[in-house]
A and B are shown apart, each in its own frame.
Chain A
Amino acid sequence: MSTQMQQLYQQVILDQSRARVGNTELLRDAAGSPHGYSHQVNPTCGDEIELETELREDGTIAVRWTGDGCSISMASASVLSELAAESSVAQMLEIEGAFHELMHSRGTMEADESILGDAAAFTGVSKFPARIKCALLAWMAFKDALNQAQAAREEKHNA
């Protein structure tokens, strides 16, 4: 087994791809708090995710998703959901920024585990240009859904 393969498929990734934290039925408009929804597709491989975010009263974000894809994309959605449950919106945006930068580093960056937590396990993915989109799919959906949730909260606030 090549070391590159081991770097890519960290145990965290293999475990999370099976755990699929947050993989649950979407509530859509049945959600109580301000929420947003996004559907992202990777046209090259057909990987797909539907993800929604809900801004809880306590300031954390509930993430629910359904999807179909490779272990990298599923593990990424799982880790994202775990992180969101224990982070504020500001923290999640910081993580999202750091993760985006890490994925586009072509393997030249050290992951900052203090920011990224388990998402640091995806460092090896950045060496595989064909797989970066897999890791980013859930995060793209998250960012889109979060924007909508924030807009919904804004609207509610102004109403």
Chain B
Amino acid sequence: MFSRLRGDFPILDVRVGESPLSYLDSGATSQKPQCVIDTFVEYFQQRNAAVHRGAHSLAVEATDAFENGRIAAAGLVGGTPEQVCWTKNATEALNIVALGMDRASHGFGGDDAERFALAPGDSIVVTEMEHHANLVPWQQLAASTGAQLRWLPVTDSGELDLTDLDTIVDESTKVLAFTHVSNVLGTINPVDRLVQRARAIGAYVVLDACQSVPHMPVDFVDLDVDFAAFSAHKALGPTGLGALWGKSELLDALPPVLTGGSMITTVTMEETEFMPAPQRFEAGTQPVAEVAAFATAIGYLTEVGLDNVLEHEKELARVLLDGIGQIPGIHILGEAEDRIGTVAFDVDGVHAHDVGQYLDSQGIAVRVGHHCAQPLHRRFGVTASTRASTYLYNNVEDCTRFLTALAEVRPFFGVA
């Protein structure tokens, strides 16, 4: 099945100089199948209008496209459509939660929002493997409220070290924010164990699902998280679109950060009442074509089956890990068993930037740098790494081409 899928992604036929393209950077952004591209074009050719306003036929069609996207997203991640709020990216989604709590801590949102208020003596817990998007907003919240920021460490094998879970996450903890899957290590974290601890002490759970939603079956209701964030562009959809998912009762109580048009019920010169979620968090003109295209992407992923995607990527991960393990002078960052097809590594004597440049000269696209996870790199004693990340359109040949080129890197730079 997976070999046939490649034909759906026109960009995979692009050549890089004289080389064919092996795209191993889906952890950064995924490529798009033709059907998603078609939806985008078709929306502007046939359905474009402002949503949730105007009574004309096109406005109705555009609104349908927009709201059908919400239904599709809820079908993908669980819950009802009202639990899916569109954002410009996952970073914004995480900030909406952190900043909403900040506003609640400063008296906004009335009695309903009081549950989110933080103060000195409270704590926020994250992990050492967070993407900056799920770390910096919490640092800001801690700084603004006087709450303490704590974190769960990472083991040498690239897994969360839960030895001291019960002391790090304690009665003072109001928020436990962590990533479902590490964007660097590929590790799938034990959500159930962490949620269980959070429930025991009454903390809110915020899940960064950017690297899980595209690659494996995910159901936020089953996982019992309170808030979750993911982005469309990593899951075959367009850029410019992310989603905040939350429990309805919580979403409806969280003070909005962006206010203005489309998110209100009554406005007087003095004050305003806000709509419930999802409109509450969707001020201003929305990315309608992006939502329509994402709905097509979700349909595509559902047809392939995310359990199949995960199995396929686990196989590719095995090929990558085994192959890299055989090349002298290369150290893999984290070797968790439970993982997706994302593998980061350090090459002795050659900086990641140079590794990436060499691979690019052979048409192999990987990510180099700190992948927006500086503390995690520091944990492993490096400032940067090279990361290969797979998706459903990758095949063993991509991995083999990558491994062959990688074996040439140290000799080229004269360190082997």
Check B370 for interface membership: any CB of A closer than 8 A: yes
Q: Mark A96-140, 1 if CB is under 8 A from B, else 0.
A: 000000000000000000000000000000001001001000000
Q: Mark A1-23, 1 if CB is under 8 A from B, else 0.
A: 11011001100001000100000
Residues of B within 8 A of A45 (CB): 352-353, 368-370, 384
Q: In the complex, what distance in Å separates the CA atom of A68 from the CA atom of B349?
A: 12
Of B111-119, B211-219, B279-287, B354-362, the segment with at least 4 beta carbons within 8 Å of chain A is B354-362
Check A46 for interface membership: any CB of B closer than 8 A: yes
Are A4 and B369 closer than 8 Å at their CB atoms? no
Residues of B within 8 A of A77 (CB): none
Which of A5, A71, A134 contacts B361 (CB under 8 A)? A5
Size band of the interface chain B makes with A: 20 to 34
Residues of A within 8 A of B413 (CB): 9, 14, 71
Check A72 for interface membership: any CB of B closer than 8 A: yes
Are A46 and B361 closer than 8 Å at their CB atoms? no
Are B357 and A128 closer than 8 Å at their CB atoms? yes
Check A47 for interface membership: any CB of B closer than 8 A: yes
Are B17 and A47 closer than 8 Å at their CB atoms? no
Residue of A nearest to B408 (CB): A1
Q: In the complex, what distance in Å separates the CA atom of A19 from the CA atom of B179?
A: 41
Q: In the complex, what distance in Å separates the CA atom of A131 from the CA atom of B361?
A: 14
Are A71 and B17 closer than 8 Å at their CB atoms? no
Are B17 and A4 closer than 8 Å at their CB atoms? yes
Which of B350, B384, B414 contacts A46 (CB under 8 A)? B384
Size band of the interface chain A makes with B: 20 to 34
Residues of B within 8 A of A4 (CB): 17, 361
- Contact residues of A: prevailing secondary structure: mixed
Q: In the complex, what distance in Å separates the CA atom of A134 from the CA atom of B354?
A: 11
Q: In the complex, what distance in Å separates the CA atom of A47 from the CA atom of B383?
A: 8
Check B164 for interface membership: any CB of A closer than 8 A: no
Within the complex, the shortest CB–CB distance from B356 to chain A, in Å, comes to 9
Residue of B nearest to A71 (CB): B354
Known: A14-B413, A46-B374, A46-B384. A2 touches B353 (CB 8 A): no
- Contact residues of B: prevailing secondary structure: mixed
Q: Mark B345-386, 1 if CB is under 8 A from A, else 0.
A: 000001111100110010000001110001001000001100
Within the complex, the shortest CB–CB distance from A136 to chain B, in Å, comes to 14
Known: A4-B361, A70-B353. A46 touches B17 (CB 8 A): no
Residues of B within 8 A of A71 (CB): 350-351, 353-354, 413
Residues of A within 8 A of B357 (CB): 5, 8, 128, 131
Are A70 and B351 closer than 8 Å at their CB atoms? yes
Residue of B nearest to A2 (CB): B361
Q: Which of B352, B353, B377 has the most CB of A within 10 A?
A: B353
Residues of A within 8 A of B352 (CB): 45, 70
Within the complex, the shortest CB–CB distance from B25 to chain A, in Å, comes to 13
Check B18 for interface membership: any CB of A closer than 8 A: yes
Interface residues of A (CB under 8 A from B): 1-2, 4-5, 8-9, 14, 18, 44-48, 68-72, 74, 128, 131, 134
Question: 11 new A-B pairs (CB below 8 Å) besides A4-B17, A45-B352, A46-B370?
Answer: A8-B357, A9-B413, A44-B369, A45-B368, A45-B384, A47-B384, A68-B383, A70-B352, A70-B353, A70-B354, A131-B357
Query: Which 3 residue pairs spanning A and B have beta carbons closest together?
Result: A70-B353, A70-B351, A45-B369
Q: List 9 A-B contacts (CB under 8 A).
A: A5-B357, A9-B412, A18-B414, A45-B352, A46-B377, A69-B351, A70-B353, A128-B357, A134-B353
